Structure 1
């Protein structure tokens, strides 16, 4: 079932996707990298479901939530740096596209939609993963960069809209978390929340997103309006 308001309303010709939990299932590689890092610094490991709930605000938030509360700021920076270096080398060991995603992106591209990816993940890793799994079907990518505020600030989405030369009414953002819903609202565009990612459907419904799609076919129909 698709939960949305304004049936028949056109979504326009630009789709901006979140990456983790939306296009790619990155959970295993993230959890492995988090626990490798925690082990290295002799901190307790985290369960995969814990890591799943921590994803959505970028590496800084992920590591902050994964560490014990009494870690100093200096140690936090050391752990974060180690994690980022390790994950960059191991980001594609178990990661893969969610079922139907490649077909969806190919179809949207063939139908002349402009396609962007905006993620809180590091910019270089975002570009490498998107190129590896989706090739040239994605027009532009943007990950975390110094000087650009992370979601839920609208900055990265607005930059992508400017790059794709699309208007707010022509654009929809697709994500899997409360951060994505808030970021899209802050950017003044519609957001579709998918239920196959890192948040349960019940949790998404609590934040009352404008659109909810349970599978790729529903998402495609929603985008087409």
Structure 2
């Protein structure tokens, strides 16, 4: 599919730019051990890493926001995660090259994540994303994704119109937020993707690797 020529590419963080699932899963497993429980296998937790505490607690404890005990688990999990959020996290293969190519072509790039600022600000420089043109966290605006506010704020900080930015993410909320903001959307099929096939999210395009995404961008620039 042909997409409008972008002036900037905005990315989700967890599961799109960075493979943070190992540290998130480790924090959840520590929480289970602290409560004398058997740990949840990594392969069961990984698909829900993009959903953060909500998704991981749902898998590990079978609880959802509003349930008795959920909030205490959420606080304890986030404390565990803050203590070791960059021990195993790293950029996905091909992401560093993708970002270098964007910069070489004069395209801005930024991060729009639902991760809270206290985690984002610690993680970004430790995994090599300190050159982002903007970083929008889940609590930067009044509403997190799937609300369009974080993406609109990112475009504002880059001095661009929303339609001049593409948004790339591996979760349904990413695509919903991008569409609501009026941005072309790309589903990052190399990410966690929850329990659904990303192609069902009605994204404008689907990329299976960062290299494939760069090829999509190059085709758009050549139009």
The bucket for the TM-score relative to the shorter chain is 0.7 to 0.9
Deviation at 1:150, TM superposition (A): 1.8
Match of 2:35 in 1: 41
**SS state of the match for residue 169, structure 1?**
helix
SS in structure 1 opposite 2:143? coil
Q: 1:166 to 1:146 in 2, by over 3 A?
A: closer
Following TM superposition, by how much is the alpha carbon of 1:147 offset from its aligned partner in structure 2, in angstroms? 5.8
1:178 aligns with 2:172: yes
Which secondary structure does the structure 2 equivalent of 1:63 belong to? Answer: helix
* Residues 27, 81 of structure 2: 8 Å contact kept: yes
Say which of 25, 34, 46 aligns to 1:31: 25
Counterpart residue number, 2:208 = 214
1:78-100 C-alpha deviation (Å, 9 max, x unpaired): 21111111101211111111111
The equivalent of 2:182 in structure 1 is 188
Instruction: Tell me if the contact between 1:116 and 1:140 (Cα under 8 Å) persists in the aligned partners.
Output: yes
- Return the offset for 1:30: 0.9
Evaluate the alpha carbon distance shift between residue 110 and residue 87 of structure 1 in structure 2; reply closer, same or farther with a 3 A threshold. same
Question: 107-116 or 150-159: which moved more?
Answer: 107-116
CA distance in 1, matches of 2:119, 2:63: 28
Aligned residue among 73, 85, 110 for 1:79 = 73
Cα distance change, pair 215–53 in 1 and its aligned pair in 2 (3 A): closer
Cα distance in structure 2, aligned partners of 1:70 and 1:131: 32
Larger strand fraction of residues: 1
Does residue 111 (structure 1) correspond to residue 113 (structure 2)? The answer is no
Give the C-alpha shift of residue 28 in structure 1.
Answer: 1.0
CA contact (8 A) 1:54 1:66 kept: no
Structure 1 partner of 2:192: 198
Asked if 1:157 is matched to 2:151, the reply is yes
Residue correspondences, number: 219
Following TM superposition, by how much is the alpha carbon of 1:37 offset from its aligned partner in structure 2, in angstroms? 1.0
Point out where structure 1 has 5 or more consecutive residues left out of the alignment. Answer: none
Asked whether the 8 Å contact 2:9–2:107 carries over to 1, the reply is yes
1:30-75 Cα offsets, whole Å, 9 max, x none, are: 1111111122133443222322232333334433443234998563
Bigger drift between 65-74 and 15-24 goes to: 65-74
Question: Structure 2: 5+ residue runs without aligned partners?
Answer: none
**1:182 offset after TM fit, Å?**
1.1
Q: Select 1:59's aligned residue among 35, 53, 70.
A: 53
Identify which of structures 1 and 2 has the higher relative contact order when contacts are C-alpha pairs closer than 8 Å and 6+ apart.
1
SS of 1:212's equivalent in the other structure is: strand
Q: Answer yes or no: is 1:144 the counterpart of 2:144.
A: no
Q: Which residue of 2 aligns with 1:126?
A: 120
Partner of 2:7: 13
Q: Deviations over 1:181-223 (max 9, x none)?
A: 1111111111111111102897112223210111222101212
